Every structure is written in C-alpha cells, then in structure tokens.
Amino acid sequence: MADQKNNISLDSLDEQELRLRERLAKIEALEAELKEKESALKAKETAKKSVLLRLPPSLHNQIAAWAEEDFRSINGQIEFLLSQAVVEKYKKK
C-alpha cells in the first residue's frame, strides 16, 4: 500500500514537473519575443537622420554655452530645443 502511494506521489510529481517545464518554456519564449521587440524598438529609436545645419558663429557659441550648462553636447542641445519647439507647437492646437 505504501509503495502504491509513493508511486502515485511520484507520478503526480512527474506530471507537475512536466507542466511546470512546459510553462517555463512558454515563459522563456515570451521573454525572448519581448527582448526581440525591445531590441527592434531601441534600434528604431536610436536611428537618427543627419541634417546639415548652418548657424552664425554667435548663435553656435550661445548654444554651445547653453549645452555645457545643461551637460549636453551641442547636437543634443539642438535636438532638445527642436523637440521642445515641436511639443509646444502641437500643444497649442
């Protein structure tokens, strides 16, 4: 009788382990899919267009000083300012 209970318990544990392994495989597949989507999104966000911008030296110097105050590069500062301008423009509508 005790052997039969042990066999039932072992069978039950084997079934539970199998179900848990299947769930783990599904979770790992979902995690891989999420990582792939996240990677694609990051690649899309980091892809930037290059723009040639001609500025008068005085404006360039002012933006450079402002960028330094904000701990940004000149390109980063210009991108920040343009982003703010776009947000402001479409906020008013």
Q: What is the pLDDT of residues 7-59, one digit of tens each?
A: 668 788 889 999 999 999 999 999 999 999 999 888 887 888 888 999 999 99
Is the pLDDT at 1 greater than 80, yes or no?
A: no
pTM above 0.75, yes or no: no
Residue 77 neighbours by CB distance under 10 Å: 19
Three-state DSSP state, 92: coil
